[in-house]
Amino acid sequence: MNLIELLKDHSKELGHGVAPKKVSDLEEKLNIKLRKDFTAYLIELNYAEIFDDPVYGINPDIEQLDIYEQNRDKEHFHYGFLEIFSNDIDGTIYIRPDTGNVYNASFTQPIAKSFTEFVAKVISE
């Protein structure tokens, strides 16, 4: 099962996706290049939930769901980590745009090698 199917099967609410131009604009604003799986999530859905908590997307009207607002001028971002998700069980989750690895707030070892792997692991737990 691919990432989009996993999220569709698991999420109670889904977004409608954004135009590829919005993704490239975000990458330009943050001076990063997102991995293909996270880009696919943004273009296909831009909103999904993991255990009722939202995965961030491009949502400038809702600051707490907006990737840009959750990362600009934040210390973790200056060290190369992009916050993409947060909940009470898993804590805050970050992705490294350069490698695609996913980390929790300890930043010591990746908890997944990709966004897709992270979603699959969390949903299967």
* Domains present along the chain, CATH in parentheses: 3-124 (3.40.1580.10)
For the chain, give the percent of residues with pLDDT over 70: 99
* Number of Cβ within a 10 Å radius of residue 40: 18
CA angle, 17 as apex, 54 and 110 as ends, to 5°?
Answer: 50
**Total-model pTM:** 0.93
Is residue 100 within 8 Å of 37, Cβ to Cβ?
yes
Beta bridge partners of residue 21, listed in sequence order: none
pLDDT digit string, tens, across residues 66-102: 999 999 999 999 999 999 998 887 789 999 999 999 9
CA 16 to chain centre: 16
pLDDT at 109: 96
Helices 115-124, 3-10: inter-axial angle, 10-degree rounding: 30
Question: Measuring CA to CA, which residue among 59, 48, 118, 62 is closest to residue 90?
Answer: 118
By three-state DSSP, how is residue 66 classified? strand
